[in-house]
């Protein structure tokens, strides 16, 4: 069975600081990887996704993530955060490859990010 | 293109009543998923459906919970004889193939 670990449950940063949120998964096969964001009072929105190819993935709002297969990691990064990035961030995974991709997602517990102005 | 629609957004039920949650996928999406989010927890997969078929229900509780996605109309998640532990946010997602897009959720409160 798959599992996803997000080690930082709460992160507090000042505006303009750099951000890195950790995500590790456990699954031996090919995976699809996702980061979703949930702003206060809103629904989950897709930030970025990785299916295959270039392990450095760029998403919306200046976010990027790097898939490191040897470390089973898919960390989220942003060079300079803004107050509006305050939100809950979720990493998710499902089985990839030609036969997969449509399965239900396994989510981490989320990281609550607070940006102080 | 409208996003994934869920209704109601908030639902209050007393113990023993039935809860029906509805989900209309995005236009052109044939895959529907239901997830549950308990307080301080991430989202947990419940069930994956395509039109008139349950593809994977490995995350569904064995009793009282059922889901359908009929040929016409929205997908329905049905919880019979609700208990306080069913209080949670229930999210629906739809997908054309690999990327899932989420609805706003239904917050169920069982009194």
Q: Chain B closest CA to A14's CA: distance in Å?
A: 24
The structure tokens listed for A17 are: 């600081």
**CB pair distance less than 8 Å for A46 and B99:** yes
**CB pair distance less than 8 Å for B101 and A51:** no
Q: Chain B closest CA to A49's CA: distance in Å?
A: 8
- Interface residue of A102, A111, A112 to substitute, partner B, most B CBs within 10 Å: A102
Q: How confident is the model at residue B34 (pLDDT cuts 50, 70, 90)?
A: very high
Alpha-carbon distance of A108 to B42, in angstroms, equals 6
**CB pair distance less than 8 Å for B98 and A108:** no
Mean pLDDT of chain B: 94
Cα–Cα nearest to A104, from B66, B58, B67: B58
Q: How confident is the model at residue B47 (pLDDT cuts 50, 70, 90)?
A: very high
Residues of B with CB below 8 A from A105's CB?
Answer: 33, 35, 43, 45, 93, 100
**CB pair distance less than 8 Å for A43 and B91:** yes
Q: Please give the order of strands across the beta sheet that includes B65-68.
A: B5-7, B19-24, B75-79, B65-68
Q: Is pLDDT at B10 greater than 80 in this prediction?
A: yes
DSSP conformation letters of B27-52: TT--EEEEEEE-TTS-EEEEEEEETT
Beta strands B101-102 and B5-7, pairing class: unpaired
Residues of B with CB below 8 A from A106's CB?
Answer: 45
pLDDT score recorded for residue A101: 67
pLDDT score recorded for residue A37: 97
Q: Is pLDDT at A98 greater than 70 in this prediction?
A: no
Cα A114–chain centre separation? 16
Residues of B with CB below 8 A from A101's CB?
Answer: 97-98
Alpha-carbon distance of B46 to B67, in angstroms, equals 9
- Which residues are paired to A57 by β-bridges? A65
């Amino acid at each position: 069975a798959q599992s996803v670990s997000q080690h930082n449950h709460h992160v507090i940063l000042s505006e303009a600081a750099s951000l890195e949120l950790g995500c590790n998964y456990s699954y031996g096969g090919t995976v699809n990887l996702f980061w979703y964001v949930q702003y206060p009072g809103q629904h989950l929105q897709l930030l970025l996704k990785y299916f295959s190819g270039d392990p450095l993935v760029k998403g919306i709002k200046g976010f990027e993530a790097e898939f490191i297969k040897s470390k089973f990691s898919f960390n989220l990064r942003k060079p300079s955060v803004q107050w509006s990035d305050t939100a809950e961030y979720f990493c998710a995974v499902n089985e990839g490859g030609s036969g997969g991709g449509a399965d239900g997602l396994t989510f981490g517990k989320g990281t609550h990010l607070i940006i102080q102005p | 293109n409208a996003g994934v629609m869920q209704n109601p957004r908030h639902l209050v039920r007393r113990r023993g009543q039935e809860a029906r949650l509805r989900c209309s996928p995005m236009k052109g999406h044939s895959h529907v998923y239901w997830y549950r989010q308990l307080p301080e927890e991430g989202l947990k997969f419940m069930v994956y459906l395509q039109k008139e078929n349950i593809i994977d229900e490995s995350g569904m509780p064995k009793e009282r919970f059922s889901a359908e996605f009929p040929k016409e109309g929205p997908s329905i998640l049905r919880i019979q004889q609700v208990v306080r532990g069913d209080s949670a946010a229930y999210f629906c997602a739809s997908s054309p193939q690999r990327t899932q897009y989420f609805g706003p959720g239904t917050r169920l409160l069982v009194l």
